[in-house]
Amino acid sequence: MGDELTLPEFLASLGKTELKPGGSYATGALLRMLELGRHEHLLVVGPHAGNTALFASMTTGATTEALVKEEGEKVTEGDPALKRRSTARVGKAEEMPFADNRFDAALIEATLAYQTEPQRVATLKEAFRVLNPGGRVGLHELCWRQPPTPEVEQCLGAVWRGDIRPLVVRGWWDLLEEAGFQNVRNELAVVSYFTRQGMTADEGEQAVEIFHNAFETPERLQRFSQAYHEFADNRRYYGVIIATAVKPV
209-237 pLDDT tens trace: 999 999 999 999 999 999 999 999 999 99
User: What is the pTM assigned to this prediction?
Assistant: 0.93
- Determine the pLDDT at residue 1: 46
| DSSP, res 166 | -
Average pLDDT over residues 5-12: 96
What residues contact 132, with CB distance under 8 A and at least 6 apart? 101, 102, 103, 104, 247
Side-chain-facing half-sphere of 60: CA atoms under 13 Å: 27
Burial of 185 per CB tally in 10 Å (0-12, 13-18, 19+): exposed
Q: How confident is the model at residue 4 (pLDDT cuts 50, 70, 90)?
A: confident
120-131 pLDDT tens trace: 999 999 999 999
* Rg (alpha carbons) of the chain, rounded to whole number: 18
Enumerate domains of the chain plus CATH numbers: 20-146+163-196+237-246 (3.40.50.150)
Burial of 1 per CB tally in 10 Å (0-12, 13-18, 19+): exposed
Dihedral sign, Cα of residue 232, residue 234, residue 236, residue 239: negative
- Determine the pLDDT at residue 3: 61
Residue 62 neighbours by CB distance under 10 Å = 23
φ and ψ of 197, to 5 deg: -65, -45
Burial of 49 per CB tally in 10 Å (0-12, 13-18, 19+): buried
- Determine the pLDDT at residue 78: 86
CA dist 161 and 89 (Å) reads: 29
Please check whether residue 244 is in contact with residue 185, taking contact to mean a CB–CB distance below 8 angstroms. yes
Closest CA to 22 of 33, 13, 37, 35: 33
